[in-house]
Amino acid sequence: MPSKLTVALALGLLAGIATAYIALSVPDPSAPQITATAGKPAIGGPFSLINTAGQRRTEKDFAGKPMLVFFGFTNCPDVCPSGLQTLTVALNELGDKANQISTLFITLDPDRDTADTLSQYVKSFHPNIQGLTGTPDEIQSAIKAYRVYAVKVPDEKDPKRYNIDHSSFFYLMNANGEYTKHFPHSTDAHVLAKALAAAL
């Protein structure tokens, strides 16, 4: 039979583990808001958008291949260009295998990012990156589905101009369109390339 001291020590140890666990569970404010539903994070889902050729595209059009989804806007001063540059390096590293993954850049700025603007922009990075836009409502639904944070911030010097503060993660979805993992836009291109190759 355990002595009172042993029980006390064991309880103390458990309390310590619990405290450490709680400390580790403090959410990282920079991480996307992930809510688990029946064991699967609720990121992704149906969307209906317009590609740069003016064709309607839904998640069903991309089924059967892993998908990397990135949200941003063409006027973004630094975050989107650096993220897309990283993605370009990763896709180049994959070579021909880059065709086996759908790479989507969904605009957060449907008012300014027309199919044409978006087309020029994504082409300047990598030919495999597909730009998607839509009506403000359609974009809002996609933003909601992927739990993206995006807020318009008016330019102090010129109220007609605005920036968009936004979270910027690459969301890796499997061939069934289910969330697998995400990477910050600042991720290392080789790490991203390896993860994409492993997803094929």
- What does the binding site for Ni ion look like in residue numbers (CB under 5 A)? 72, 76, 79-80
Compute the least distance from the CB of residue 13 to Ni ion, in Å: 47
Contacts of 165 (CB under 8 A, 6+ apart): 149, 150, 151, 153
Of residues 47 and 71, the one with the C-beta less far from Ni ion: 71
Of residues 65 and 112, the one with the C-beta less far from Ni ion: 112
Of residues 148 and 172, the one with the C-beta less far from Ni ion: 148
Residue number of the CB closest to Ni ion reads: 76
Compute the least distance from the CB of residue 11 to Ni ion, in Å: 50
Residue 183: strand pairing partners: 170
Distance set, CA 15 to CA 20, 22, 75 (Å):
9, 10, 51
Compute the least distance from the CB of residue 36 to Ni ion, in Å: 27
Contacts of 61 (CB under 8 A, 6+ apart): none
Compute the least distance from the CB of residue 165 to Ni ion, in Å: 9
Residue 153: strand pairing partners: 163
Of residues 32 and 72, the one with the C-beta less far from Ni ion: 72
CA 4 to chain centre: 52
